[in-house]
Amino acid sequence: MRRAIAMTALAVALGVALTGCRGGGNRDASPPAGPDTGSTVATTPAPAPKTPAPAAPADAAAAVVSQADKDLAELDKLLAELDGQLKKAEESPNDED
């Protein structure tokens, strides 16, 4: 009788242990509660994620200056193209016709 109870208890314990391993995902998914002090490998805690700070006025101005450089270079090209088209549209001796 005792042997049967012991066997039953062992089976229940084994079942509980196996259920804990599969765990429905909870134990595997949840992060460790604290640092792994029992490990022989030292791990450093991950740094806390930084929240983006608002851009400083100097950074914003630099970004605008950079964009302005690009826009002004493009405007120089557009001006050259405009000059070229105007030159082609000038009156010529053939314009009598």
Partner 1 sequence: MRTDMLIRRGLLFAATALTAAALAATAGVPAQAAVPVAGVAVQAADQAANLANAKKLATVRIDGRLAMLRAEGVAIRNAARLTDAHQAALQKTVDAGIAGLTELRAKVAAETTLEAVRAGTRSMVEDYRVYLLVRPQVHLTLAADVAAAALTRLRTLHDKLAQAVTAAKSAGKDLGDAEAKLAHLKSELDAMESALSGLADDLLAVQPGPDSAAIRAKTAAARADVRTARTHLRAAATDAKALRDLLKP
Q: Please check whether residue 10 is in contact with residue 18, taking contact to mean a CB–CB distance below 8 angstroms.
A: no
Phi, psi of 38 (to 5 degrees): -80, -15
User: Binding residues for partner 1, per CB under 8 A?
Assistant: 57-58, 60-62, 64-65, 67-69, 71-72, 74-76, 78-79, 81-83, 85-86, 88-90, 92, 94-97
12/68 with CB nearer partner 1: 68
28/96 with CB nearer partner 1: 96
DSSP string across 3-61: HHHHHHHHHHHHHHHHHHHHGGGHHHHSPPSS--TT-SS--PPPPPPPPPPPPPHHHHH
Whose structure tokens read 């314009």? 95
Give least dist CB 44 to partner 1, A. 37
Give least dist CB 92 to partner 1, A. 7
Give least dist CB 50 to partner 1, A. 23
Give least dist CB 59 to partner 1, A. 9
